[in-house]
Structure 1
């Protein structure tokens, strides 16, 4: 019997059908299953649902007669309709739930994962010999093993990490850094069909979404993804490094690549992204700090997060070292940016509401920091980030939120909680100048919710954080606050209301 190869909705690039090295049989037919139940079980961002369905349907059109495209309520139902009990291969899925499903099916043979630079067994062999799993050591290993930005066994420029050059605040008084515009695709008849289906599902009460949809902002096929990659490499990469951590209220994208959704859908391969960036640098088209910063994001952080997702095990999901249990408030779940007066938080929520995306600093130092300071349940915060971002998948958000953003793992992934008062936001953005809250005020009607929240967070977790070498000095600063009692009462009364 001819074998069928199953493509999940985040396995849409050519790498997932390439023969050799654990690939599917060359004569295999292709199966794609569009499961409405996935969207029924969780309240995803409308733009995310649109992108995934558009990308799947575009891939099906590309594959033509080779593909069987099934629309079913569940994957099991779709598999039964398409092949019965016939043999199926599938590349290692990207979530534990999907992996558990395919492994439970006797007819399915699971092939090695694709779309990443490092094999899981190689990472495990390295990690088992480490006292701590810090990204920098892993990143250097990837650079060496894949000969990325290397000369004679040493990093080009004589240093591995140019992060110190990539922390410039935005130009004072500027509303934009003046970067060339990013690539934006044009919608087509497939997008029109997807939008009509989503409208019908919502109208019938079958599915509920959050956020706004349209126009589609991110690539849905390989051609669009390659166009977006070329646009970034040749027009935007040069300006990426210096302002990598900067934020501007009127410039949502700055010089960021906007390639994460294409990578996570499998439309782009990480090797072609980082090798393309290195080629631009070697041709003199971009400075080293910009190229190294981008390579570190893709070959360093993205690979590291993928590997930790599997290495830490399923129990990592419920890590809650700080004991945070507060529920996410309705204004947050509904992305109600208009309910929020703090300009930084309102802007970040608006970006998520309208596009399903914002870059890594608003995610970490505004959205994630606020959730951490409020003591929200990290499981719920992880689920929110997963559902509300177009590039969010279980493997992406679990380490990023539990470990990096919420410090719920107690330091297994990072050396300190990533949160701050308003001074950091003021230094790295233009938010505070037109905000009713003052970044230097802890108490009062004009107190900055991040400044007050930061000190309240340190007070709640003083016993743990005073022993953290990177936090002890800040914790001891609590002793100098004459208004600490007033601040704590102010934060108690604020509760889960919008700042």
Structure 2
């Protein structure tokens, strides 16, 4: 008898059904379970719930008679309905909670993880070879490039340098409201999307679930065909302009030249290797410059892979890290994505992007949303939860290291060497978001003081003792002694409190 194979909702690509010694049987029935309890437990972004359900139902439609597609209250109930007491296989899930679940079930065999470049055993061996030294992302990235032959000329990095980040930090073009890049791929909704929207409306109307944010039209791929189309369009038409402005922000152009492929990768619709290989092929054919291709490869084969490995390497207790002892709750205006309540133009713009689409690129996430949370001492676990729920590409493995480690510096430096936060001058330099704002990026105190500038110095003051010993922060901390208006600044920060800036 052929053993059925269970697919989670982020295991939807063909590589999760490839047979072999560590894969499901060739003709194995496939189980897909929609568990309502997941949506009851979390207040997800409406667009995220729509995307995940649409992707699962598109996959079920593709598999036809091979699939046992069950809608139930819990995973346990759905699996029982699908296979009864029969055995099933499942590839290693992407969260600690899901792994605990499958290991608690009888007759479930957990197969190795798929959808990533580096097997966990290989990463552990690499980490052990470090001999207790910091597991730096840059070192890991070089190793992955060598192991997979990515952007390599024999034993040397293509172009003679591993990292072309210096070429990819340009300010947005002076006076431009958009980059003028070709538009990204936009899927067309179909009957499956209409069914999903109907179900979500009914759940809300019946009080079964509560969502945040706006839904529709769907902006991100929900099928393998759509994901491949989005990948090819990015590589052919947008990759060439990606690199230089990947850290820039424009109010009227939230997408810039970014790929918008993260949700497809994290749903399992795309494999990371096919993405980076297609990008490298474009460079070798002369269709994209090396700095743009290297930046894209570094995001996927470097950062994404690094975050996945650290999630498992640090373990589930990592989510409780709180080295800075930040415990303030997230205010309601932030939880509700109430961008209209916010006067600071940069934060209002980023929050509106999340509200309307469930997505912003990495700089608004880190230097606007995350930085504001860090400056105001919000609980890092609650911030992680918010990012997980509100972003279409947000999963526990994605957000835990990104938020706890990088954004909130809650691990005290296990992942990064410094807190990532700044005053308004950085935002002004890398965007047009300060134009027309009620606040001034250079002012620390007074009614027109930029909340980020005030918040930056207040953060340094609050953690002065700890940060004075950090070689990357020591000079900034010493700058506190030159602030004649420090007391006024701290008073201004205290007055703001939980009110929207």
Q: Give the TM-score band, short-chain normalised.
A: over 0.9
Superposed displacement of residue 129, structure 1: 2.8
| SS of structure 2 residue aligned to 1:369 | helix
Q: Deviations over 1:231-274 (max 9, x none)?
A: 00000000000001000000010000000000000000000000
Please point out which of 456, 467, 470 is paired with 2:469: 467
Relative to the length of structure 2, the TM-score reads 0.99
Distance 1:295 1:183 in 2: 20
Aligned residue for 2:449? Answer: 447
Please point out which of 354, 379, 382 is paired with 2:381: 379
- 1:85-104 to 2 correspondence within 5 Å? 85-104=85-104
| SS of structure 2 residue aligned to 1:5 | strand
Aligned residue for 1:420? Answer: 422
Q: Deviations over 1:329-357 (max 9, x none)?
A: 00000000000000000000000000000
Aligned residue for 1:44? Answer: 44
Distance 2:316 2:97 in 1: 10
Q: Deviations over 1:190-219 (max 9, x none)?
A: 000000000000000000000000000000
Distance 2:31 2:316 in 1: 28
Superposed displacement of residue 128, structure 1: 2.3
Q: What is the RMSD computed on CA atoms of the aligned residues? A: 0.5
Distance 1:454 1:134 in 2: 26
1:151 aligns with 2:174: no
Please point out which of 191, 194, 201 is paired with 2:193: 191
Superposed displacement of residue 221, structure 1: 0.1
Aligned residue for 2:136? Answer: 134
Q: Deviations over 1:155-191 (max 9, x none)?
A: 0100000000000000011000110000000000000
- 1:59-458 to 2 correspondence within 5 Å? 59-130=59-130, 131-458=133-460
Superposed displacement of residue 27, structure 1: 2.2
| SS of structure 2 residue aligned to 1:306 | helix
Distance 2:85 2:65 in 1: 21
What stretches of structure 2 of length at least 5 have no aligned partner? none
Superposed displacement of residue 125, structure 1: 1.2
What stretches of structure 1 of length at least 5 have no aligned partner? none
Q: Deviations over 1:267-293 (max 9, x none)?
A: 000000000000000000000000000
Q: Which runs of 4+ in 1 moved over 3 A?
A: none
* Pairs aligned (count): 499
Distance 2:73 2:171 in 1: 48
Distance 1:194 1:412 in 2: 41
Distance 2:383 2:319 in 1: 11
Distance 1:82 1:143 in 2: 42
Distance 1:340 1:37 in 2: 33
Distance 1:85 1:135 in 2: 44
Superposed displacement of residue 21, structure 1: 4.5
Contact 2:2–2:25 under 8 Å retained in 1: no
Distance 1:494 1:439 in 2: 17
Superposed displacement of residue 146, structure 1: 0.1
| SS of structure 2 residue aligned to 1:432 | coil
Contact 2:345–2:433 under 8 Å retained in 1: yes
Distance 1:118 1:496 in 2: 43
Aligned residue for 2:17? Answer: 17
| SS of structure 2 residue aligned to 1:145 | helix
Instruction: Decide which moves more: 21-30 or 207-216.
Output: 21-30
